[in-house]
A and B are shown apart, each in its own frame.
Chain A
Amino acid sequence: MLQPNRQAILLFDIVLYTYTVGVPATTSHSRNPSMLKVAVGHSNDPDSESAIDIVVEQCRSSLEGVAPKAGILFASSDFDLEVLLQRIHQTWDNLELIGCSTNGEISSVMAFQQDSAMLVLFCGDTVEIAAGVGRNVSKDPVAATREAIDKARSKLNSRDPKLCLVTPESLTTSGVSIIDGLSRELGENFPIFGGAAGNASNQAQTFQFFNTEVLSDAVPVLLFAGNIHFSHGIACGWNPLGNQSRVTRSQKNRVETIDDRPAIDFYEYYLGTRTHSVEYPIAIFEADGNFYLRAPQSWDEEDGSITFFADVPENATIQITEASRDNILAAAEESLDRALESYPGEQPEAALFFTCAFRKYILGTRTKEEYELVRDRFTQSLPSGGFYTNGEISPIAPGTPTRFHNETFVTLLLGSQ
């Protein structure tokens, strides 16, 4: 019982999906303006104005005069976020921009950083990209996600989007209800990728970006259509430990009792503290012995309940999990390998990474190795960007519904040849 379940680990270690969309790959050079091109700027200057100046300048120089269509900004909430957005808007006024506050940033420019700002820009004549946003997602996730998708879709000429990127709120509502809403709009098996907005350790708020707006409780989306190839891989590296327990009362993502005792007793029993500990998610076992992870988001001292980042079914068999730093790092590498193996085109133009903030807490000084391991797999430098999230968004298997994950590393490869 106390042995890690090898079969269960497989669910997270062997996940690999391929989507082949768009026109067939050609042998045209990457400078071909019709192809997807990605530029990245990244600065760790704590001064907002200085930081965004550097970011914009890096992007400009990399774009060589090409106008970007859309972008994603990942930035620490310590910045004056409006300053960042205004500056980007002043530079490229037609840019379809989304993004969110983060818990750490990754890029091909500065590798792993904390308290930095990083911008990813997308260009390409045969690629269509449009942004949308839905607000007040905690009140009505269905309406908010419909609003976001409708807005983005209305700007696309193509009626057939291929891919959705999303950087939603993570604290006010369950990630599962956001994904449910998006899937309702886009189709049950439509591929959606992204990460839930992160927050600084001293803040209980996250921020989402839409063009020049800094929002909370919102769902910004980017829809991609046209000539675009992509593949992805996910892996986590966490293993169950200790005795199995049962969720005896829960409502959506709020677990009231475990083994008929207040849910916070469960964590207190193992961790000796009533502080919720995101780096120790619970494994939720399915009938076949596989499991998925749910990390605690907040706890209620009065009624003893714990709110998780996504739904926890009542009567589920659960177990606390832990991960060694080696396992966490190996999972990142595996995630990338899977994505590379299944890339449908000749070679990707860019990579996006969505990795869990709680991985960072455990990796500590070794956090930088996560990106370094991934970077070293590329034979040549690939424009890349990513962030440490409060929840990762990606399908589990090809052609299956998108899922909300915790403690997971998602690699998304993009290109058009």
Chain B
Amino acid sequence: MADNTEKIEELEKQNRILQKKLARSEDDRARMEETKERSESLLRTVVRDLRNSQEVLEQKNTELASTLAQLQTTQDQLVESEKMAALGQLVAGIAHEINTPLGAIRSSVDNIADFLSDRLMVLPDFFQSLSGDREEDFLKLLQISLQQDTSLSSREKRQIKKHLKAQLQEKNIDNADSLASTLANIGVRHSIDPFLGLLGDREGKTILEMAYQFASLQKSTRTIITGSDRAAKVIFALKSYARYDRSGATVQANPIDGIETVLTLYHNQLKQGVEVVRNYEDIPSISCYPDELNQVWTNLIHNALQAMHHQGTLTIDVCQKEGAIAVSITDSGTGIPEDIKAKIFQPFFTTKPPGEGSGLGLDIVRKIVEKHQGAIAIDSVPGNTTFTVSLPITTPEKTHV
């Protein structure tokens, strides 16, 4: 009996638990269904968002591709304009290089023309009027004029004149100052003794004047020769600089020729305060794009000059080592601070004031050097900054970049 009661109690308990579990199970099922609906909704929304994001990303991607294309065009334009700016500076320098000898030639030609129009007619009478001694004196003066050293400084000329004047005064000859000038201009350097007879002659002054005119004529001729030589040299450098092989193939050329060409074109900017030291070893010609390498030398030399404000020493070392040509261009400027050393080859990086530098100069240099499968390195301490360009002696043929 007691057993039965216990069993009934136990069964009742199990029944209570099962009923509770059933009720709970219904609740839980409803909740799980709700949860599932929300979960499905979340999934749908996230998938929809992903699709939207994908569309937005695709659109952004298209925009970015178009922006990138624009940027590339702009960069190409900037590279071109940087090249044009460099060319502009070069042209200004060259104009000066050519104008200077042209001016000298022009004034020499004026001088010769004046002589011809003023003096040519009187020459027969003048020669007829000369006595034997004076004719000898005149020819001696012309001889001195022909041999005269044209490289005297103003100071040296002043000293010669002073020396001659003192001798004239010692001999009590009138117009010592004017006579000393004329004698000095003709080319008399030391003693007036050979010309004492002439100086004592009544016609002595006229003869000296005429000799002086001939000396000027001589000088003008020399100036024209020097000037035209100089202009021809600049034109030749310009032709070398601009040599451009349209085939896009490399040619054999010696980098030193290119460096010298650039130095010639920069002659005017170098001569006022820059000492150029050339340490050139004998190097072979290399397979290269000479016109592009000229851009490299121009850029590095131009930067070097700017870095030392056109005052100091520009040292160019060229040597051959380990199958490569190494060209080092060193300036005595303030140097490149450590923190910007890593950035100077980055496009658009510049330390120059806005509007002066595009920041593409060294980027172009780096690209040209890389095109030659070479390398560029910097070593800089204050007072000594060196850019070293290494170029392999044989560069495999490459397509034009």
A residues near B (Cβ < 8 Å) are 1-2, 44-47, 50, 78, 114-115, 201-202, 241-243, 269-273, 275, 277, 279-280, 320, 322, 361-362, 364
**Residue in A46, A275, A322 whose CB lies within 8 Å of B20:** A46
Given contacts A2-B50, A201-B27, A201-B31, contact A45 B42 (CB under 8 A): no
Residues on A with beta carbons closer than 8 Å to the beta carbon of B31: 201, 361
Residues on B with beta carbons closer than 8 Å to the beta carbon of A320: 42
B198 nearest CB across to chain A (Å)? 102
Q: Interface with A: B11-19, B67-75, B87-95, which one? A: B11-19
Residues on B with beta carbons closer than 8 Å to the beta carbon of A44: 17, 20
**Do residues A45 and B39 form an inter-chain contact, with CB atoms below 8 A?**
no
A105 nearest CB across to chain B (Å)? 13
B34 nearest CB across to chain A (Å)? 7
B60 nearest CB across to chain A (Å)? 13
Residues on B with beta carbons closer than 8 Å to the beta carbon of A114: 24
B230 nearest CB across to chain A (Å)? 69
Question: Is residue B346 within 8 Å, beta carbon to beta carbon, of the partner chain?
Answer: no
The residue in chain B whose Cβ has the minimal distance to the Cβ of A268 is B41
**Do residues A242 and B24 form an inter-chain contact, with CB atoms below 8 A?**
no
**Do residues A270 and B16 form an inter-chain contact, with CB atoms below 8 A?**
no
Q: With the chains together, A364 CA to B13 CA distance in Å?
A: 25
Q: With the chains together, A221 CA to B53 CA distance in Å?
A: 50
Interface of B is mostly: helix
**Do residues B20 and A270 form an inter-chain contact, with CB atoms below 8 A?**
no
From 24 to 44 in chain B, residues with beta carbon under 8 angstroms from any chain A beta carbon are 24, 27-28, 31-32, 34-35, 37-39, 41-42, 44
**Residue in A78, A201, A241 whose CB lies within 8 Å of B46:** A241
Residues on B with beta carbons closer than 8 Å to the beta carbon of A362: 35
The residue in chain A whose Cβ has the minimal distance to the Cβ of B39 is A322
User: Can you pick out 13 interface pairs between chain A and chain B where the beta carbons lie within 8 Å of each other?
Assistant: A45-B17, A46-B16, A47-B16, A114-B24, A202-B27, A243-B53, A270-B46, A271-B41, A273-B41, A279-B38, A322-B39, A362-B35, A364-B28
Q: With the chains together, A2 CA to B13 CA distance in Å?
A: 51
**Do residues A115 and B24 form an inter-chain contact, with CB atoms below 8 A?**
yes
Known A-B contacts: A1-B53, A115-B20, A243-B49. Give 19 more (CB < 8 A).
A2-B49, A46-B17, A47-B13, A50-B16, A114-B24, A202-B27, A242-B45, A242-B49, A243-B53, A269-B45, A270-B42, A270-B46, A272-B44, A273-B38, A273-B41, A279-B38, A361-B31, A361-B32, A361-B35
The residue in chain A whose Cβ has the minimal distance to the Cβ of B40 is A272
**Residue in B17, B19, B46 whose CB lies within 8 Å of A242:** B46
**Residue in A2, A115, A241 whose CB lies within 8 Å of B42:** A241
A258 nearest CB across to chain B (Å)? 15
**Residue in A1, A241, A243, A275 whose CB lies within 8 Å of B34:** A275
**Do residues B45 and A273 form an inter-chain contact, with CB atoms below 8 A?**
no
The residue in chain A whose Cβ has the minimal distance to the Cβ of B38 is A271
**Do residues A45 and B38 form an inter-chain contact, with CB atoms below 8 A?**
no
Q: Which 5 A-B pairs have the closest CB atoms?
A: A272-B41, A46-B20, A271-B38, A46-B16, A270-B45
**Do residues A322 and B17 form an inter-chain contact, with CB atoms below 8 A?**
no
Residues on A with beta carbons closer than 8 Å to the beta carbon of B50: 2
B residues near A (Cβ < 8 Å) are 13, 16-17, 19-21, 24, 27-28, 31-32, 34-35, 37-39, 41-42, 44-46, 49-50, 53
Residues on B with beta carbons closer than 8 Å to the beta carbon of A2: 46, 49-50, 53
Q: With the chains together, A30 CA to B49 CA distance in Å?
A: 58
The residue in chain A whose Cβ has the minimal distance to the Cβ of B52 is A243
Q: With the chains together, A2 CA to B41 CA distance in Å?
A: 17
Residues on A with beta carbons closer than 8 Å to the beta carbon of B35: 277, 279, 361-362, 364
Q: With the chains together, A270 CA to B27 CA distance in Å?
A: 24
Q: With the chains together, A280 CA to B41 CA distance in Å?
A: 12
The residue in chain A whose Cβ has the minimal distance to the Cβ of B41 is A272
The residue in chain A whose Cβ has the minimal distance to the Cβ of B9 is A50
B6 nearest CB across to chain A (Å)? 13
**Do residues B37 and A272 form an inter-chain contact, with CB atoms below 8 A?**
yes
The residue in chain B whose Cβ has the minimal distance to the Cβ of A275 is B34
**Do residues B49 and A46 form an inter-chain contact, with CB atoms below 8 A?**
no
Residues on B with beta carbons closer than 8 Å to the beta carbon of A115: 20-21, 24
The residue in chain B whose Cβ has the minimal distance to the Cβ of A78 is B20
Given contacts A2-B53, A46-B16, A47-B13, contact A272 B45 (CB under 8 A): yes
Given contacts A241-B46, A242-B45, A364-B32, contact A272 B16 (CB under 8 A): no
Residues on A with beta carbons closer than 8 Å to the beta carbon of B42: 241-242, 270-271, 280, 320, 322
Residues on A with beta carbons closer than 8 Å to the beta carbon of B32: 361, 364
**Do residues B38 and A277 form an inter-chain contact, with CB atoms below 8 A?**
yes
A360 nearest CB across to chain B (Å)? 9
**Do residues B49 and A280 form an inter-chain contact, with CB atoms below 8 A?**
no
**Residue in A50, A273, A277 whose CB lies within 8 Å of B13:** A50
Residues on B with beta carbons closer than 8 Å to the beta carbon of A46: 16-17, 19-20
Q: With the chains together, A273 CA to B20 CA distance in Å?
A: 29
Q: With the chains together, A47 CA to B28 CA distance in Å?
A: 21
Residues on A with beta carbons closer than 8 Å to the beta carbon of B46: 2, 241-242, 270
A93 nearest CB across to chain B (Å)? 28
**Do residues B24 and A45 form an inter-chain contact, with CB atoms below 8 A?**
no
Residues on B with beta carbons closer than 8 Å to the beta carbon of A47: 13, 16
Q: With the chains together, A202 CA to B26 CA distance in Å?
A: 13
A126 nearest CB across to chain B (Å)? 40
A321 nearest CB across to chain B (Å)? 10
Q: With the chains together, A374 CA to B53 CA distance in Å?
A: 41
- Which residue, of A44, A242, A270, A361, has the highest number of chain B Cβ atoms within 10 A? A270
Q: With the chains together, A237 CA to B21 CA distance in Å?
A: 28
The residue in chain B whose Cβ has the minimal distance to the Cβ of A54 is B13
**Do residues B13 and A270 form an inter-chain contact, with CB atoms below 8 A?**
no
Residues on B with beta carbons closer than 8 Å to the beta carbon of A279: 35, 38
Q: With the chains together, A361 CA to B32 CA distance in Å?
A: 7
Q: With the chains together, A277 CA to B34 CA distance in Å?
A: 10
Residues on A with beta carbons closer than 8 Å to the beta carbon of B37: 272-273
- Which residue, of B17, B31, B37, has the highest number of chain A Cβ atoms within 10 A? B17
Q: With the chains together, A362 CA to B32 CA distance in Å?
A: 8
Q: With the chains together, A243 CA to B28 CA distance in Å?
A: 30
- Which residue, of B16, B34, B38, has the highest number of chain A Cβ atoms within 10 A? B38
- Which residue, of B44, B45, B53, has the highest number of chain A Cβ atoms within 10 A? B45
The residue in chain B whose Cβ has the minimal distance to the Cβ of A320 is B42
Residues on B with beta carbons closer than 8 Å to the beta carbon of A271: 38, 41-42, 45
Q: With the chains together, A320 CA to B17 CA distance in Å?
A: 38
**Do residues B16 and A45 form an inter-chain contact, with CB atoms below 8 A?**
yes
B142 nearest CB across to chain A (Å)? 96
